[in-house]
Amino acid sequence: MFSHMTAPNTIWTAELDQTISQPSLVFSDTLLLATQPSGPVVQHSGLLALDLATGQTRWQHAFEYALVSGMQAYHLMAEGREIAVVATSSSDFLNGQGGLLAFDEAGTIFWQGEVEEQHFSAPVVKDRQLFVVAGGKNLLIISPETGGDDQHRIPLSAAASQAAPVIADGVAYIPCRSPDLLAVALDGNERWHFQFQGSKRDWLDQTPIVIGAFVYAVSSQGSVFALERETGQMVWQATVGAQRPLSAPTLHNDTLYVGFAEGMAALDRRNGRIQWTFPTSRPISAQPLIIHDTVYCTSEDHHLYALDLVSGVERWRYELPRRIETPPVLAKSALLVVDRGGNGVAWERPFVPETTSDPAAADTAATTAAAKVAPAILEQKAKVHEAAGEPLAAAAVWYELGQLERAAQQYELGGSWLEAAKLWQQIDRYGKRAEAFEQYARQLLGNGQIGDEEKALAWEQAARAYAETGQKEERQRCEQETARFRRQPVLTVEVEPEGPMEMDAWARVNYTVRNEGFGVARGLQVSIKDDRFEGQSARTQTIITLQPGREYQHWLDVSPKAHGSSVPMQLLIEYIDKSNGVHKLERIFYLEVAEGDELPATAPLTPPSISTGSLEILSTIKAPDGRDLFALRNQIVQSFNKDEMIDVLFQMNLREDDFDERLSSMVRELMVYVVQNGRFAELLAICQERRPALEW
């Protein structure tokens, strides 16, 4: 069922009682499904064609000892109609045979290719030709217009997967059943052969994305790659979730969207930085679909999710009886999803506005075309809307003029906080983006038609946004609200040495764990996760439960292996919530450790971690002018984005690699460095130069 009032209307539902094994295909007015029996040994498959308008069965076709590996629509120019090209792979070398077939809308076999291989990848159509990998060893180029003839074969240097290749500018980019990705020119010359230096199980077997000067690929062990298109050299690598398979990626503007074992993730395609994640209880294995400003993704937890493109905030969801392993499909008039058990749903195609979906701004559509030639007229129109108290209409006009900051301000005045957050992100105002997300979460509080989980997700998004800007108190406040709506525990930890600590000498560190949340924490354990401290009792005994509002006090016996005025000690707190979900929290505390009877005069540069304890390193140093270092750190984080801070490091002749890659941690470490090395005034001067309008 739907969980949000804004979901589209249902056109039809169908209960097919057949296992769906491959992504669905829309061709002509037909929805084509690949079916196969369920069970440990599957040797047969079939095709099931449904009427797009009604969901009624039109025709079926069975394959004996062969499984469907992919389908692709092809438009016959001469006849003005579409056919479906279907690739199959043999499931029995003695009795079965793979092949390529083309079906028309009535289910008649239009042609059948004469090929000898037993296995075929999913096909792809490009420039009036059909491309498919045969036997994992040869790329075939086929003309569908001539009955599947005119084959041209290109041998491959690695075993290709069954995912479709990508054809771009005369080059085929081919995913493999190994840590390999091939770039092969259509004249037969191999351009490059990328081999990921990881596990042999790290297959690059999903269809990559080729755009501009880059190729984006994912691995079966949770990695996302960006490669140079010309050379195959790696530009960046990012890890998403645990070491589990990822879905094929989807690209929109500068963002990659990919499903993983714990949900959906959005990554900046320029550097691989994760912009947001959306959690699900089971994996998202199917490629996401993007329509206008919404990401549609299916999950093995039985749901179709509609997520905001920029923020990842859930808009609505729909639950089907079985897990969903295939992506949603968009037709001319419908959005369609089918679960593994053959339960299908068709909704009205989501509306895509030409300019804006806001009724208050509808009268701006007529003047949009004039924006390029008469911006002064539009600017005056925006000011008129502002004076009339019509902020949403004004925001739409300012947006057309490219004045995003002013548009975001008007969206805020009109209470359209998600739209404001999108614009703040576009102009790299991440502090304002976080504030807008929080206001959106507060906006949902009084809406009785929205469930607690949707409200929790909104607060969770706000917490992540604040975390990116290093605003600790704001992040914790939003995390508290997330826990309240999910009725989850919130644990805080304090540590205090029982006495002076010396390197290589045993000492007792007392700690207090408090549950300041709204649910019970069970099976609680605290342990040391740091090679700078050796623990005689490094892990506590399991605590049965820690109720909300309660605290637990215990100790750890440790032997420091480093000395200094701020030696970091990392604690790992593990517990189970009411839904049996396992949680792991890492906290860093900075302890004073002596070497004999002497302490070092200055603290070393801190490691790349943010302490949530009471002994954070910024509290152990003082600014030369006596100002609040915590407030200054927050001001810098809100005023500069990461690329700008890297420029600051360069201007100060400092190496980027010596600092943490996260913005908040980078700024914290830089502040420690400049205070300890007498360069505090230099940093302030640079900040004043780059942000002269702010008070430094």
* Statement to judge: residues 32 and 80 lie in one domain: yes
Q: Which of 500, 491, 496, 503 is nearest to 577 (CA)?
A: 491
Angle at Cα 391 formed by Cα 388 and Cα 396, nearest 5°? 120
Q: What is the CATH number of the domain that holds 379?
A: 1.25.40
Q: Residue 353 in contact with residue 21, Cβ under 8 Å?
A: no
Whole domain around residue 365: which residue ranges? 359-483
Tokens 């790329």 map to which residue? 139
Residues 31-35, mean pLDDT to the nearest whole number:
94
- Considering the domain architecture, whether residues 415 and 534 belong to the same structural domain is answered as no
Q: Is 162 inside any structural domain? A: no
Task: Assess whether 82 and 95 both reside in one domain.
Answer: yes
User: Does residue 19 lie within any of the structural domains?
Assistant: no
d(CA 667, CA 690): 16
CA pair distance 489, 575, nearest whole angstrom: 9
Residue 454, pLDDT score:
77
The pLDDT assigned to 565 comes to 79
Please state, for a pLDDT cut of 70, what percent of the chain lies above it: 89
List, for residues 559-614, the tens digit of each pLDDT value.
Answer: 888 888 778 888 888 888 877 777 888 888 888 888 865 433 333 333 333 333 32
Cβ–Cβ < 8 Å for 286, 298: yes
Q: Is the CA virtual torsion 195, 197, 198, 199 positive or negative? A: positive
pLDDT digits (tens, 9 = 90+) for 191-234: 999 998 877 778 999 999 999 889 999 999 999 999 999 999 99
Residues 97 and 119 in one domain: yes
Residue-averaged pLDDT of the chain: 84
- Asked if residue 115 is part of any domain, the answer here is yes
Cα(335)–Cα(123) distance, rounded to whole angstroms?
23
| Tokens read off for 188 | 């037969």
Are 671 and 629 in contact, with CB atoms under 8 Å apart? Answer: yes
Residues pairing with 180 in the sheet:
195
In 413-542, which ranges are E strands? 491-497, 501-502, 507-515, 521-528, 533-535
User: Phi and psi at residue 303, in whole multiples of 5°?
Assistant: -110, 150
Q: Based on the structure, what is the number of domains in the chain?
A: 4
User: Average pLDDT of 471-484?
Assistant: 88
Residue 348 placed within a domain: no
Same domain, 475 and 505: no
Position 286, amino acid: A
Q: What pLDDT sits at residue 541?
A: 53
Q: 113 exposed, middle or buried (CB, 10 Å; 0-12, 13-18, 19+)?
A: buried
**Selection from 444, 539, 550, 442 nearest residue 489 by Cα:** 550
CA distance 650 to 645: 9
Q: 3-state class of 487 per DSSP?
A: coil
End position of a domain, from candidates 563, 590, 613: 613
In a domain? residue 419 = yes
pLDDT for residue 664 = 77
Q: Report if residue 224 sits inside a domain.
A: no
Residues 411 and 444 in one domain: yes
Note whether 594 and 494 are same-domain residues. Answer: yes
Residue 495 and residue 591 in one domain? yes
> Within its chain, how far is the Cα of 76 from the centroid?
38
Give, to the nearest 10 degrees, the angle between helix 680-690 and helix 663-676.
130
Confidence of residue 456 (pLDDT cuts 50, 70, 90): confident
495-534 pLDDT, tens per residue? 888 888 888 888 888 888 888 888 888 888 888 876 778 7
With a cut of 80, say whether residue 69 has pLDDT above it: yes
**pLDDT tens profile 86-116:** 999 988 767 778 889 999 999 999 888 877 7
* pLDDT digit string, tens, across residues 649-686: 888 878 777 777 778 778 888 888 888 888 899 999 99
* % pLDDT > 90, the chain: 38
The answer to whether residues 414 and 373 belong to one domain is yes
Choose among 593, 588, 545: nearest CA to 566: 593
Q: Given this model, what pLDDT does residue 116 score? A: 77
Residue 33 — left, alpha, or beta (φ > 0 → left; ψ -120 to 50 → alpha)? beta
Q: State whether residue 657 is helix, strand or coil.
A: helix
Return the residue matching tokens 């004249």: 187
Map residue 316 onto helix, strand or coil: strand
CATH number assigned to the domain comprising residue 115: 2.130.10.10
Residue 371: band (very low, low, confident or very high) from pLDDT cuts 50, 70, 90: very low
- Per-residue exposure over 519-537, b if at least 16 CB sit within 10 Å of its own CB, e if not: bbbbebebbbbbebbebee
Instruction: Report CA-CA distances (Å) from 181 to 217, 229, 234, 478.
Output: 9, 12, 12, 42
The answer to whether residue 296 sits within a structural domain is no
Higher pLDDT, 457 or 45: 45
Residue 365 pLDDT grade (very low, low, confident, very high; cuts 50, 70, 90): very low
Examine the domain organization and report whether 569 and 458 are in the same domain: no
What value does the mean pLDDT take over residues 465-469? 84
Distance CA 378, CA 367 (A): 7
Q: What is the total residue count of the chain?
A: 696
Q: Are residues 421 and 533 in the same domain?
A: no
Q: Which of 590, 587, 586 is nearest to 617 (CA)?
A: 590
In the listed set 483, 503, 530, which residue is the last one of a domain according to the structure? 483
Angle at 44 between CA 40 and CA 50, to 5 degrees: 115
Give the pLDDT score at 115. 74
Question: Cβ distance 23 to 77 under 8 Å?
Answer: no
Q: What tens digit of pLDDT does each residue of 387-414 get?
A: 988 899 899 889 888 899 999 999 999 9
Does residue 8 lie within any of the structural domains? no
Read off φ and ψ for residue 641, nearest 5 degrees.
-90, 180
SS3 195: strand
Identify the domain boundary among 155, 176, 191. 155
Q: Tell me what the mean pLDDT of segment 327-349 comes to.
A: 92
The whole-number average pLDDT for the span 233-261 is 92
Whether 575 and 630 map to the same domain: the answer is no
Cα distances (angstroms) measured from residue 125 to each of 86, 147, 252, 258: 12, 15, 21, 23
Q: Say which CATH number the domain at 601 has.
A: 2.60.40.10
